[in-house]
A and B are shown apart, each in its own frame.
Chain A
Amino acid sequence: MNLLRLSWKNLTFKPLSTLLSIVLFALGVGLVSLLFLLQKQVEDNFEKSLAGIDLVIGAKGSPLQLILSSMYHLDAPTGNISIEEIRPFLNPKHPLIETSIPLSLGDSYRTFRVVGTSTDILDFYDVSLASGKVWSQNFEVVIGNTVAQKLSLKLGSTFSSSHGFLEDENLGHDHTDFKVVGILASSGTVLDQLILTTNQSYWLTHEHDAANEEAAPQEDHADHDHDDHDHAHDHEAVPVTLPSLLEEPGEKEITSLLIKFKGRNFQALNMQRSINENTDLQAATPAIEINRLYSLMDTGEKALRILAFVIIFVSGLSIFISLFASLKERQYELALLRVMGGTRATLFTLIILEGLLLASLGCLFGLLLSHGGMQVFAGTLEKAYGYTFSGWTFLPQEWYLVGGSLLLGLVAAILPAIKASKTDISETLLKG
């Protein structure tokens, strides 16, 4: 029977009061740790997908929305832009631009977004193929690792996409069979969650829909879309070399352009202002918009963090109160410990141990709560945002949380411990 066991038995002897203190403590610690985890993982995810992109060009609208939809594949795209408008930026001879990647957005397959783009995007994000080959023909798709796993798609699997980002059968493009030709290695970037194909496939699926709608009432109505329709079905049989977007007709549309500059010089920085002021296009800098997003999140996070610390403070108070109250009802026990040879230091240590036990159990359960919760939550977050979250990562800040918890347990126990050590044994025993 050492003191630690005695303090443990004392706590379990009053399970309800002990439970209350531990639950309160766990809630506070859990909330703080959950905030740490979320913030860290959101920032990690964002930073991984930053991929050195200097500028994003798209339709006018909210710059944050443009960045979110084009780089992080969250939120809806701002609208479309015509090839005509962006032709200069597609030109490989542009003096400032090293690479530009056209994106066509707006369709999805079972909540995973279909992105029409060029194969340069793989170099941007530094992602390699795990199997198969890159897309080179219309309706060939390369799928991210997560997509392959979640949807059990393999090389050669076919599917048709649907309009919008919701899983809605009614919005399906009926006859557009995408065929998986490659699967990407897992990279932790947004590409894990995407289905990549050519920009032209996008036009074909949408024009095909238009053709179908028009064709339904009037069977013999034929327009230029019909060629594309045939093409859509023949794409396996007759491989063609796709023209670069530069050579496509000016009225065709894409959603946005990701741009990497040759160097971050004055001219390059000026390009953004000039686009925004002189054209119908919008140019946004990812780093600036993401920082704006962080500062938006920060306000909410600050409020939650304050709440969490208030809960932790209250839980410290609850430890203090429960220890202090318990002294009165067990003063005879404390006196008895002295009669049996226990010293003042023994009583002091006993109460301190009880405080530390409560705090460390609360902290332990709090961390379990946040990490377990995060793990459970990760599935929902992944579904909603397409990013990977995990509960089983531990952050260095959490050691401070553990240290802080123990300190709080110590502080909460110190006054009761002093009072316990000053118990007048004779007086107490006389009261019997």
Chain B
Amino acid sequence: MLSTHNVSFSFASTREASIHLNFPDFECQTGEHWLLLGQSGSGKTTLLHLLAGLRTPQSGEIKVNNTILNQLSGAKLDQFRGREIGVIFQQSHFLRALTVGENLAMARQLVALPADNNKIKALLEQLNIGHKFNALPSELSVGEQQRVAIARALVNDPTIILADEPTSALDDKNTEQVVALLKAQAQAANATLLVVTHDNRLKNIFDQQIEL
């Protein structure tokens, strides 16, 4: 379950002016798939960072499975995020010195889970990239990289999956595929999925939507 209440955030955009953002309250139940729509500059990536605990809100409360995220700090917050929240960014980045398999293993070991290569292989198989287990991220196509990013977000069985503009670089056909994949994986893991986007093509695929 993911919910917000009275969340606001402000940051300096220029030297004098600062931008103040107030976000609407919402509540996503466990297993629900949500779409967070907003135009560029509406603060949707900022909200995603707040939800992932990468930033602390100025006021308000973000709740993930009965834990108030913005009350955690330091190492506790890092570990909680790593364990409970899977994040897929607009651009896929990896630990470039590690293979795909090692990248996923690292994600598990950073939160003190066993590497479990069988689980990692099975996950990659589900995403049709099982043969890339030993490949370096730089050797993958953009589409493959995105699948690995999805696999990494899922590998710790998180309860929340946050995706930032996962389809912005994709054509219609691939967009449908990726969203279907995300929804299927989230469903299989019984995780709450929240996709942040300005991509109107996704409007018809998600029932629950929030607009900024």
Contact yes or no, A336 B95, CB < 8 A:
yes
Contact yes or no, A432 B97, CB < 8 A:
no
Given contact pairs A13-B97, A332-B93, A432-B91, A342 touches B54 in the complex (Cβ within 8 A): no
Distance of A339 Cα from B91 Cα, bound (Å): 14
Contact with A along B76-107 (1 / 0, CB 8 A): 00110111000101110111111000100111
* Residue among B54, B89, B107 with max Cβ neighbours from chain A (10 Å): B54
Cβ contact of B81, chosen from A1, A9, A339, A344, cutoff 8 A: A339
Minimal Cβ-Cβ distance residue in B for A346: B110
A249 within 8 A of B: no
B74 within 8 A of A: yes
Cβ contact of A338, chosen from B45, B78, B102, B115, cutoff 8 A: B78
Minimal Cβ-Cβ distance residue in A for B77: A343
Q: Is the interface of A mostly helix, strand, loop or mixed?
A: helix
Contact yes or no, B107 A341, CB < 8 A:
yes
Distance of A387 Cα from B21 Cα, bound (Å): 82
Contact yes or no, A9 B97, CB < 8 A:
yes
Cβ contact of A340, chosen from B55, B75, B110, cutoff 8 A: B110
Contact yes or no, B74 A9, CB < 8 A:
no
Cβ contact of A429, chosen from B49, B74, B78, B96, cutoff 8 A: B49
Minimal Cβ-Cβ distance residue in A for B109: A1
A295 within 8 A of B: no
Contact yes or no, A340 B97, CB < 8 A:
no
B residues less than 8 Å from A426 (CB atoms):
49, 54-55
Given contact pairs A341-B79, A341-B83, A341-B110, A429 touches B89 in the complex (Cβ within 8 A): yes
A residues less than 8 Å from B33 (CB atoms):
none
B161 within 8 A of A: no
Given contact pairs A339-B52, A430-B45, A432-B90, A344 touches B75 in the complex (Cβ within 8 A): yes
B residues less than 8 Å from A333 (CB atoms):
93-96
A345 within 8 A of B: yes
Cβ contact of A13, chosen from B96, B106, B110, cutoff 8 A: B96
Contact yes or no, A340 B107, CB < 8 A:
yes
B residues less than 8 Å from A429 (CB atoms):
49, 54, 89
Contact yes or no, A1 B55, CB < 8 A:
no
Distance of A44 Cα from B74 Cα, bound (Å): 58
Given contact pairs A10-B97, A429-B89, A343 touches B79 in the complex (Cβ within 8 A): yes
B129 within 8 A of A: no
Cβ contact of B106, chosen from A332, A340, A425, A432, cutoff 8 A: A340
Distance of A429 Cα from B152 Cα, bound (Å): 16
B148-166, CB < 8 A from A = 152, 156
B7 within 8 A of A: no
Distance of A6 Cα from B54 Cα, bound (Å): 23
A residues less than 8 Å from B115 (CB atoms):
1
A residues less than 8 Å from B79 (CB atoms):
341, 343
Distance of A207 Cα from B102 Cα, bound (Å): 84
Contact yes or no, B82 A6, CB < 8 A:
no
Contact yes or no, B49 A342, CB < 8 A:
no
B28 within 8 A of A: no
Contact yes or no, A1 B45, CB < 8 A:
no
A270 within 8 A of B: no
A337 within 8 A of B: yes
In whole Å, how far is A10's beta carbon from the nearest beta carbon of chain B?
Answer: 5
A residues less than 8 Å from B102 (CB atoms):
1, 9
B111 within 8 A of A: yes
Minimal Cβ-Cβ distance residue in A for B108: A1
Given contact pairs A1-B102, A344-B75, A432-B89, A336 touches B94 in the complex (Cβ within 8 A): yes
Distance of A332 Cα from B93 Cα, bound (Å): 7
Distance of A341 Cα from B89 Cα, bound (Å): 16
Distance of A6 Cα from B74 Cα, bound (Å): 22
In whole Å, how far is B134's beta carbon from the nearest beta carbon of chain A?
Answer: 13
Distance of A332 Cα from B107 Cα, bound (Å): 15
Contact yes or no, B98 A342, CB < 8 A:
no
B residues less than 8 Å from A10 (CB atoms):
97
Cβ contact of A342, chosen from B74, B78, B97, cutoff 8 A: B78
A and B contact pairs by CB, cutoff 8 A, 6 listed: A6-B106, A9-B97, A339-B52, A340-B107, A342-B82, A425-B54
- Which residues of B are interface residues toward A (Cβ below 8 A)? 45, 49, 52, 54-55, 74-75, 78-79, 81-83, 87, 89-91, 93-98, 102, 105-107, 109-111, 115, 152, 156
Sample of 18 more A-B contacts, CB < 8 Å, known A425-B54, A429-B54? A1-B105, A1-B115, A12-B97, A13-B97, A330-B96, A332-B93, A333-B93, A333-B94, A336-B94, A336-B95, A341-B83, A342-B110, A343-B74, A343-B79, A345-B75, A426-B49, A426-B54, A430-B45
- Which residues of A are interface residues toward B (Cβ below 8 A)? 1-2, 6, 9-10, 12-13, 330, 332-333, 336-346, 425-426, 429-430, 432
